[in-house]
Structure 1
Amino acid sequence: MKLSFRWYGKEDEVTLEYIRQIPGMQGIVSAIYDVPVGEVWPSEKIQSLKEEIEKHDLTLTVIESVPVHEDIKLGLPTRDKYIANYKQTLKNLANAGVGVVCYNFMPVFDWTRSNLYFPLADGSTTLIYEDKVVEKMNPLAEGLSLPGWDSSYAEGELKELLQSYQDVTEEMLWENLAYFLHEIIPVAEEVDIKMAIHPDDPPWSIFGLPRIITSEKSLARLIDIQDSPNNGITFCTGSFGANSENNLAEMIRTYGSKIHFAHCRNIKRTGERTFEESSHLSSDGSVDMVEVMQAYNEIGFTGPLRPDHGRMIWGETGRPGYGLYDRALGAVYLNGIWEALVKTKS
């Protein structure tokens, strides 16, 4: 596997200089953040990102993410314009040597939590999700801010968008995803880019919006839509792990050839549709990380793998879930498990 790390560009407080110092670190997962959703990513911006990363003896292993415009998810007539732009962006990325693109099909909101600074017993803070708290939240309330929140919405735009989804069912969202994949995957095949859909986080409906990439059953349906080596998965143990019915190791073994990108993080389920994000250590959460890494080792996984959300520890401040210290600990922990598995196997 290629140990990788998420970097949010030059404005990120976690610098490439720091990331480079993590033992075993090879790749960077990043994106272009100043191009509006739906527009073509200019080749010069992509090349500049790649060169900046390579100056630090790292490689651009994954683009996370190329956002999918809401008109595509809604199946509006304007979707064809945005799909055409998406295709051109893939071609521009391929010209820069990018091999994996992560994306998601979650309506309106990306990953969502109810508290970004929940205090743990050890003095660190973490992200948590409590369904009962989220159910009481009004996404249109003034001052409400959550991860996955697009602050670029103009006044009244978010309300209109949520109203547009009122009659959109899970089945309709599946149909719109299929339309998107039928258009995109042939281009991905042509330019040799692996498309890797990220599961919904959390893996159930929020604010009445449908969510569809939640389980092994949904992965089977995804693959059937467009059975191509380029139509695959970002396997996130935190997202799938929030549902206790998902057997993570068996899912990895079943869909190994379709897993183009791995997110390894731990969460501790604390109740029905309630969890907190823990350290990566197996005993601290509900995900057996050794079992997960063993499954990746068994399938011969060679793709990019990154530690995911971390706690805020040792007094660090910054982007919730994306500080340096705990994610670096996670990277070293995962790399240690991998080394032990490889040497034991050989």
Structure 2
Amino acid sequence: MSAPPLVVHLIFRLDFGGLENMLVERINRMPADRYRHAVVSLTYHTDFAKKITRPDVELYSLHKPAGMALETHVKLWKLLRQLKPAVVHTYNLSAVEYGITALLAGVPVRVSGSHGRDASDPEGRNKKHNFLRRRMIPFYDCCYSNSADLERWNREVIGVPGHKSRLLHNGIDTGKYKPGPAPASVPFPPGSFVIGTVGRVQDVKDHPGLVDAFLLLKDMAPDQWPALCLAIVGDGPMMAAVREKVASAGIADKVWLPGARTDVNEILRGFSVFVLSSIAEGTPGSALEAMATGLPVVGTRVGGVPEVVADGVTGLVVPARDPQALAKAIACYIEQPALATQHGKAGLERVMQKYSMAAMLNAYLDMYDSLCHTKIKIREPRKSCVE
């Protein structure tokens, strides 16, 4: 009996982050008799890779230097010739150019995924980047997006034809992320109102703006200020700047910066409200995890956030890069606990109905099956694949 087809996932770096977390969830949960998986990092992988629980998944790092690095194309070509995958699946702009390499290596199915944009170009207007994306379309069989906003942009701005376009929503494990008692690991006194966020600490998430919003609450909600606390869970290139900002503002005793954690599902249960201060997003998995935990969400009006957070129903949506608006929205929940509970319950219902793990897995399996059946006459799509 022949081995299942191999999917090679090509990403910039396998590290703590929303895209990477969704990738690992899919790999761990896809039936082992359907597809094998390998993850190739253009740069390197961190201890986050330990979250992959399937023993048959191989990891590779190409240690790409900054710049064009043509030698990385050669390394990848040699690796793909060795692995002989059925599918190469690239993620975001940093890996899109390697569709050519996959074609030259003889990979029959090539997939490009859009999971968000960079902070340097949150609205996708960079002409050089968009030119590259357009030039890569012929080398891919599918160019999907994980939010309706990104799919619309892919088709209208980049020019992805309808037959190559798909919308694949993120999914959440509602068995793991669910309401429950706050864990002892969240180091705030009883009765605290914890404003929390989870994600890679990088410029696109605008954590400094969240700190500014928190500071504004001292004047907006002076009576509640002693009970207010801020939790920023995650790590990344902006962490040093965030720590310095918190220290300079004299609020180190009110802000928890634990770095990257593997017990996020438990930590979320210690939050009172979840805040997403991003300036660009696809479908924010961290917001979905918070909603599955029963938290109201304050998010910015960027990318797929308004698709996930129904303004005035499951949370509040405000303009990006506006600490004043962010603080006002948070203050609404501080002053109206009943509203926070109402929106939290509505968010949980929304996740259960629309963003299940099974639906996400079925969608990705259907994409792989359809393309493999068309290109190499294997894996005829099934109507249902995941229990």
Q: TM-score range by the shorter chain?
A: 0.3 to 0.5
Give the TM-score, by structure 1 length: 0.35
Give the TM-score, by structure 2 length: 0.32
* Structure with the higher fraction of residues in helix conformation: 2
Task: Decide which structure has the larger Cα Rg and report it.
Answer: 2
